[in-house]
Amino acid sequence: MTPAEAGVRVRYWAGAQAAAGTESDLLPAGTVADVRSAAVRRHPDLAPVAPLCSILVDGIAAADEEVIPVGAQVEFLPPFAGG
């Protein structure tokens, strides 16, 4: 498998998972913004939720311009209510 085929594993949580209709995806590597856009293209119902999500890359919060390494785990965490 080439690095492009390997991509990054994306996990969706809570409302993001409900909107995507799946727990996870394998998407092409790129910046956080690239992966967020790829997720929305694959799951259009994710469009209103994705901009609200915090994105974690291998457990660490990441900004949109950060490059995600091939093989990383990316998590979409929407805002949670409660406490």
Domain enclosing residue 36, as ranges: 3-77
DSSP string, 29-54: --BHHHHHHHHHHH-GGGTTTGGG-E
Is residue 83 included in any domain, yes or no?
no
Distance CA 47, CA 79 (A): 15
Is residue 38 included in any domain, yes or no?
yes
What confidence score (pLDDT) does residue 80 get? 79
Specify the number of domains making up the chain.
1
Tell me the average pLDDT of the chain: 92
What's this model's pTM, rounded to 2 decimal places? 0.88
CATH number of the domain that residue 71 is part of: 3.10.20.30
pLDDT tens digit sequence for 39-67 = 999 999 999 999 999 999 999 999 999 99
